Amino acid sequence: MAAGTTPNSTRRSERSRVAILTATRELITEVGYAKLTIEAIAARAGVGKQTIYRWWPSKGAVVFDSLLALSESPDGGIELPDTGDVEADLKAVLRATAAEFSDPAFAAPIRALNTEIINDPELAAVYREKMEQPIREAKLRRLRSARDAGQLAADADLDLLLDLLYAPLTQRWLLRSGPLDDGFADALVEAALRAFRP
């Protein structure tokens, strides 16, 4: 075993990693992406700046890892449930998303980042690559499986279906234009699927 990778130091590393990602999410909520600094993250997490730079090349990298950590399953991948019933699975996922959006610990850092993405095309591009695309791919895999099972039309535009499922939810959350509850999630899934039934 190489120096610095004994079980104790691995545990210490994992504790530092979690502390850094948590500090990053807290700070992006408090000060926004533009004013966030590696120095402030290190101070909040109780680690040295060099520890952060050893693991992440830039501020953007640690920010996106801190947010991705919220969406990851325990094995590090992103996968939607597939019970064989696409309507039931999507209702479960959209109800959970609506509940997450209603939880400030989850929603506040993503809200802060979204604000800056709206005015920063470069940040928007990084966000798309690091966060949106991997999650979108997982959702598309679930919809393809439903199409293969004959629950969606063979020529269904799955990208458009995804927009119909998620954009009203995201907009209602970002613009606070209405309640985000199970009833809304269910109605959204039913309407979006009706548009693409076989």
CA nearest 162: which of 192, 185, 191?
A: 192
- Name which position in 36, 62, 117, 131 contacts a second copy (CB under 8 A): 117
Structure tokens, 111: 């809200």
DSSP string, 89-107: HHHHHHHHHHHHHT-HHHH
Shortest CB 33 distance to a second copy, Å: 12
Q: C-beta of 168: minimal distance to a second copy in Å?
A: 4
- Exactly one of 82, 129, 148, 157 binds a second copy (CB under 8 A); which one? 157
Q: Closest distance between a second copy and the C-beta of residue 26, in Å? A: 16
Footprint of a second copy on 86-115 (CB under 8 A):
111-112, 114-115
Minimum gap (Å) between residue 88 Cβ and a second copy: 18
Instruction: By CB under 8 A, name the one of 53, 54, 171, 182 that touches a second copy.
Output: 171
How far is Cα 60 from Cα 74, in angstroms, rounded to an integer?
23
CA atoms within 13 A on the CB side of 27: 23
For 6, counting Cβ atoms within 10 Å of its Cβ (0-12 exposed, 13-18 middle, 19+ buried), the class is: exposed
72 belongs to the binding site for a second copy (CB under 8 A)? no
Count of residues engaged in binding a second copy, rule: CB under 8 A: 32
Q: Which of 38, 186 has the CB closer to a second copy? A: 186
By CB under 8 A, tell whether 155 contacts a second copy: no
Question: What SS3 class is residue 78?
Answer: coil
- For a second copy, the closer of residues 42 and 168 by Cβ is 168
- CA–CA distance, 8 with 153 (Å, rounded to integer): 54
The closest of 130, 145, 8, 6 to 64, measured between CA atoms, is 130
The answer to whether residue 71 forms part of the interface with a second copy (CB under 8 A) is: no
Nearest distance from residue 173's CB to a second copy, in Å?
9
CA dist., res. 90 & res. 83, Å (int): 10
Interface with a second copy (CB under 8 A): 111-112, 114-115, 117-119, 121, 124, 128, 132, 157, 160-161, 163-164, 167-168, 170-172, 174-177, 187-188, 191-192, 194-196
